[in-house]
Structure 1
Amino acid sequence: MTHHYGYVGALLAAFLFGLSSTLNKLALRDVHPIVVAGSIYVTAGIVLMLLRHTPLKNRILDMLNSGAKTQKFFSGRDALILAFVILFGSFLAPLSYMIGLERTTAVNASILLNTETLFTVLIAIIFLGERSSKRTGLGILLILTGAVVVSTEDPGQASLTENLLGNILVVFSGLCWAIDNNLSKFLSLKRDLLLVTSLKGLFGGSALLSLAFLLGVPLEIPAQSVPYLLTVGSLSIGFSLVLFLFALREIGAMRTGAIFSTSTLMGAFLAFLVLGESLTPLKVLFGLLMLIGVYVLSGEEAEA
């Protein structure tokens, strides 16, 4: 399988994850943030674990692993990496983000969450030794610039010196997800990506729901919120993470993390259709800038 499929996988993962921003907003009207985070991760784990016990399992894994050198069995080292992935990506990141979001403005959170891409790129270069050319840097810069504008209603309203604790927690969530992204690269070498992702969802989501219970947070979910949580859990978390792992294997953490930022473009478009939020010509322009950035990144493989 060529590396170009990795770019397709990253874009599809971003597309599916982009659905979550609007659907989560709808669910958050009636459900506590920690319960939302826990529910969608548990849903992802259950859906993927059930899928593993259907005839579709081998067909899906054969498509994802076509031509790739994968590892069938888990070692003790893999289990340790998975534990850290769950800790950072499925527990600390969503928890700190939800708490931070309550203590800062939506504008600040939208801008600061893009630090996930920066952290992912830096960790991939410094610790994983991934190669960064001028073309790679340009592509990432175009994507990140577009993401900041597309994800923010009015960047001029940002005040990063106020609501300091909330801002720090949002940045910390970006760092945690970046650590998760880079550690997950090692797990992407496993053949059974469905198992990896389902375990991540089940353990991370269960930990969040357990924390909500210990804090006395109401766990009730109104019937009207269930479809939103099921959709986000199965598509935006479950299948999106499977495709994300596939992309990590094919094109690395740096490029996958950058392309995944295009989820903000899908989120903005869906928010415009469903919630009536603004989709200004400026956002459309910078959305196109993000797609140009993806093209610049993928074109590097053709020249390699």
Structure 2
Amino acid sequence: MTHHYGYVSAVLAAFLFGISSTLNKIALRDVHPMVVAGSVYLTAGIVLMLLRFTPVKERILKKFESGVKTQESFSGRDIVILAFVVLFGSFLGPLSFMFGLNNTTAVNASLLLNTETLFTVLIALLVFKEKASRRSGIGILLILIGTVVISTENFREVELSKGLLGNILILLAGLSWAIDNNLSKLLSVKRDLFLVTSLKGLFGGAALLILASLVEVSLHVPLQSIPYVFTVGAFSIGFSLVLFLFALREIGAMKTGAIFSTSSLVGAIFAFLVLGESFTTVKAFFGVLMFIGVYILSLE
């Protein structure tokens, strides 16, 4: 399998995650945000764990075999890393985002959440010493500019002085997911990517639902919301995470994190098709700009 499959996997992961925003909006009409977050992560964990006991698992893992040497066993260090991945990626990230969203405007939240990409790149460069050429920098910059424009409906409505606590929580969510992205790179060398992602979903989802129960939030999910929760959990979280980990293994956290932010473009297109939300020529232009950035990265 060539190195370019890492880029393909990152784009596919972004696509699967991108459709989740529309499906979550539909589910949130009847279900508390904390329950939606916990349910989709728990669903992802269950689906991926069940797949581990079917022939499908081995077929997919063989497809993921490449020139990168993988490891079969888990050490004590790996378990500690996994614990931090669950803590930051499946618990603190979603929790900070949900409470932040409740304490700031949607426009502020959309703009500030783009710091996840920025934090991912900075941590990869400064802490994990990933290499970045000038060409990579241009590609990442184009993707980041496109993401900011597409995810922010109207810059005139941005008021960062409004909802200061919520803004800080959104920033913390972006930082949490950036830490998760970089730590997950250390686990991406494991051959059994299904085990890593299923444990992340199971522990993170269970923790969120337990917390929701402790703060007396109703855990009831109406029958009409179950298809949306299941689809997001199985595909937008579950399979997306597996593809994301493979991309981390192949091309690193910096490039994978940048490419994954194209999910905002997928989300905007899907919302336009399903919910009838606006999709302007400006968004289309910057969407093309983002994929030019992805192409530039793939030339490395």
| 1:51-70 map, 5 Å | 51-70=51-70
Contact 2:38 2:209 in 1 (8 A): yes
1:101 aligned partner, one-letter code:
L
Match of 1:15, SS state, is helix
2:181 matched residue in structure 1: 181
TM-score (norm 2): 0.99
Output the CA distance in 2 between the equivalents of 1:159 and 1:135.
34
Partner in structure 1 of residue 212 of structure 2: 212
SS at match of 2:178: helix
Map of 1:297 onto structure 2: 297
The answer to whether 1:79 aligns with 2:83 is no
Structure-2 residue corresponding to 1:260: 260
Look up the match of 1:241.
Answer: 241
Q: Deviations over 1:59-101 (max 9, x none)?
A: 1111112443100000000000000000000000000001100
- Aligned to 1:70, the other structure's residue is in SS state coil
Report the Cα distance in structure 2 between the residues aligned to 1:237 and 1:209, rounded to whole angstroms.
16
Moved more, 187-196 or 55-64: 55-64
- Give the deviation of 1:58 after TM superposition: 0.7
Residue 28 of structure 2 aligns with an amino acid whose one-letter code is L
For the pair 1:198 / 2:198, whether they are aligned, the reply is yes
Q: Which residue of 2 aligns with 1:269?
A: 269
Match of 2:288 in 1: 288
Q: Which amino acid aligns with 2:173?
A: S
C-alpha distance in 2 between matches for 1:188 and 1:299: 23
- 2:164 aligned partner, one-letter code: L
Partner AA of 1:105 in structure 2: T
Question: CA-to-partner distance for each residue in 1:150-173, whole Å, 9 max, x for gaps?
Answer: 112112210111100000000100
- TM-score with structure 1 length normalisation? 0.98
User: Which residue does the alignment assign to 2:224?
Assistant: 224
Residue 193 of structure 1 aligns with an amino acid whose one-letter code is L
Cα-to-partner distance string for 1:27-69 (whole Å, 9 max, x where unaligned)? 1111001000000000000000010011111111111124431
Report the counterpart of residue 96 of structure 1 in structure 2. 96
Q: Using the aligned pairs only, state the percent identity.
A: 72
Q: Distance in 1 between matches of 2:129 and 2:8?
A: 23
Q: Quick one: distance in 2 between partners of 1:56 and 1:223? A: 29
Unaligned runs of 5+ in 2: none
- TM-superposition CA deviations, 1:237-268 (whole Å, max 9, x none): 00000000000000000000000000001000
> In structure 1, how many angstroms separate the alpha carbons of the residues matched to 2:157 and 2:238?
34
Rounded to whole Å, the distance in 1 between the matches of 2:163 and 2:299 is 41
Aligned counterparts of 2:249 and 2:198: Cα–Cα separation in 1: 18
Unpaired runs of 5+ in structure 1? none
Which residues in structure 2 correspond to 1:104-119 (within 5 Å)?
A: 104-119=104-119
Tell me, yes or no, if the aligned pair for 2:2 and 2:66 is still in contact at 8 Å: no
2: CA distance, partners of 1:102 / 1:166: 7
Measured in 1, the distance between the counterparts of 2:46 and 2:22 equals 22
Letter in 1 for 2:281: P
2: CA distance, partners of 1:259 / 1:43: 25
Structure 2: distance between partners of 1:284 and 1:185: 32
The secondary structure found in structure 1 opposite 2:299 is: helix
